[in-house]
Amino acid sequence: MELYPLKFIPIYINKIWGGNKLKNDLNKNTSQNNIGESWEVSTNKDKVSVVKNGSYKNEKLTDLIKKYPKELLGPSYNKNDKFPLLLKIIDATKKLSVQVHPNDKLAKKLENGNGKTEMWYVLDASKEAKLYIGLKQIENKKQLRKVIKEGKLENHLNEIEVSKGDFFFIPSGTVHAIGGGLMLVEIQQNSNTTYRLYDWNRVDDAGNSRELHLENGIKATNLNLNIKGNQVLLQKKTSEYKQEILCASDYFITNKIYLNGSLSIENENFVLLTCIKNEGKIYYGDNKSEDIKLGESVMLPANIKNVKLKGDMNLLKMYIPESLDQHIRKLKEKGFNKI
């Protein structure tokens, strides 16, 4: 059975730090205010994506995976596999708390769940916008515990001024926070395990601080990470498109596509697309088509054939290869080169 490009009803989550950019700038169809997150593709517990287009309209993604695991996700998946990714768009008008996520081994031990490696792509940034990624002048976990208990962790955060189009790969174990004035795409492992280390000394109306997860957070922190952003790994240019591999890991690959014409998509597993500029069309099968508009996300099932993107638009393409090393070699054989 051949499926088709699947769109899902966004799952909107109100946050005290949320705003209105998702509906004002990305044309999200909602009357809600203070939307902090739009979960674009999710099978996470009570936040399961529901199809909004085509013959499977109103079906849950989890039910489709049970019916068509290999057709939808790829040859190595079965109906008992957990969907491996979670795709969000975030609108932060204020700082989020300082957090860290465990790796797979520690998450299994502490939560019986997955770790969380993620990536951020900045869709929009105010003039003073900042991300906080990694630590500075922290020599060991004993010192880390001390500065957290003294409420001084912000003095040791690696502060990065960011602009639209910046991107950062955030491995599990990285202490991080999103600053205010930012809208970004977040692609991550399918996990919601978060340990809060610091909340900027904020208190609620009753004078109470939010809960911290000090011991597990310190266990999860990797002090030896060297975080770098905006480093394109591989690139390919033609007269109709430019493709940039922004990050490549065992968990996911993110490819930014600048399209001015057409581009054929070959996929061994499922592909997630998010349109980040303008709009275009996805052609598939026997010249069938589906629109993709600014701010929309689409899942291309693994068994879909003859997929071609057409238009004048920019997209993020996110997917998981069967073998990372083999896939990188294939990309180079197809004309991708280091810059």
**Are β-strands 253-265 and 195-198 bridged in parallel, bridged antiparallel, or unpaired?**
unpaired
Phi, psi of 215 (to 5 degrees): -65, -50
DSSP conformation letters of 243-294: EEEEEE-SS-EEEEEEEEEEEEE--SS-EEEEEEEEEEEEEETTTEEEEE-T
Cα 319 to Cα 75, 90, 96, 250, 257, distances in angstroms = 14, 20, 27, 10, 13
Phi, psi of 335 (to 5 degrees): 105, 5
d(CA 103, CA 324): 19
Token reading at 303: 């068994």
CB 146 within 8 A of CB 214: no
- Which helix (DSSP H) or strand (DSSP E) does residue 146 occupy? helix 141-149
68 three-state secondary structure: coil
d(CA 111, CA 172): 15
Phi, psi of 162 (to 5 degrees): -130, 160
d(CA 252, CA 24): 30
**Catalytic site residue 196?**
yes
d(CA 152, CA 131): 18
CB 35 within 8 A of CB 18: yes
From the list 145, 196, 202, 210, the catalytic residue is 196
Residues serving a catalytic function are 196
